[in-house]
């Protein structure tokens, strides 16, 4: 039987106190989640780097270089402003998907909604 667990919501900040370019770190028990406002769009991603445990909420947001069949195997700058770079040793994560660039792994991402004018993360 499938359990229908109610999802837990965490109100992070009032919308007008969480403008583009800002970020917060939330801790729910032992779990750390990094939340970003990138040009008006909210992202939430698991907050601890799997490499050496650095806090991803402190990572810079940059672009990265891609090279694949879509770029005809030429290097191209891509994902500008949406690549979270770990402040430990620069592992890169796609904020939209949690996917680690160049690794077969992905961090958990969380939905973020605005509810009653509060930015709210759904766990």
Partner 1 sequence: MANSKDSIEVKRVEAAFNPVQDQDLDIYGEELRKYTIVDVDVHVDDTLQNMLPYMDGHFGKRLEAVLTADFMGEPHNSLRNMIAHVSWLGAAYDKHPRAKLATKEDLLDRMEYGIIDYSILFPSELLPIGYLPDPKWAASLASAYNEYMVDAYSNVAGVKIAIVVSPKSVEHAVIEIEKYASNSDVVTVSIPDVGVNPPLGDKKYWPIYEAAEACNLPVSLHGIEALIHDNYPLRVAHFPTLMQVHSMGFPFTSMLQVMSVVCEGVPVRYPNLKFCVMEAGITWVPFIMHRLDTAYRQYRTELPALEAQPSEYISKWYWGTHELEKLPKKGDLSKLLDLYQGHDTTMWASDWPHLERDLIAGLMYYDLDDEVRAKILGKNAIEFYGITT
Residues that bind partner 1 (CB under 8 A): 8, 10, 12-13, 22-31, 48, 51-55, 57-62, 64-65, 85, 87-90, 92, 123
Residue 96 C-beta: closest distance to partner 1, Å: 18
Residue 16 C-beta: closest distance to partner 1, Å: 14
Residue 123 C-beta: closest distance to partner 1, Å: 5
Under 8 Å between Cβ of 12 and 35 = yes
Residue among 51 and 117 whose Cβ is closer to partner 1: 51
d(Cα 121, Cα 123) in Å, to the nearest integer? 6
Among 34, 62, 66, which residue's Cα sits nearest to residue 48? Answer: 34
Hey, what are 13's tokens?
Answer: 């900040």
Give 19-47 as a DSSP string: -TT-EEEEEETTEEEEEEEETTEEEEEE-
Residue 88 C-beta: closest distance to partner 1, Å: 5
Under 8 Å between Cβ of 36 and 23 = yes
Residue among 53 and 68 whose Cβ is closer to partner 1: 53
Residue among 70 and 102 whose Cβ is closer to partner 1: 102
Residue among 48 and 112 whose Cβ is closer to partner 1: 48
């Amino acid at each position: 039987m499938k359990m229908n667990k109610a999802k837990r919501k965490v109100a992070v900040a009032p919308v007008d106190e969480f403008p583009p370019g800002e970020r917060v770190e939330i801790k729910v028990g032992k779990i750390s989640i990094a939340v970003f406002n990138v040009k008006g769009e909210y992202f939430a991603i698991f907050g601890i780097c799997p490499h050496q445990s650095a806090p991803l909420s402190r990572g810079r947001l940059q672009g990265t270089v891609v090279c694949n069949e879509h770029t005809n195997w030429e290097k191209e700058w891509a994902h500008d402003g949406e690549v979270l770079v770990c402040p430990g040793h620069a592992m890169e994560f796609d904020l939209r998907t949690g996917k680690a660039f160049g690794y077969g792994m992905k961090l958990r991402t969380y939905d973020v909604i605005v509810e009653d004018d509060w930015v709210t993360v759904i766990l």
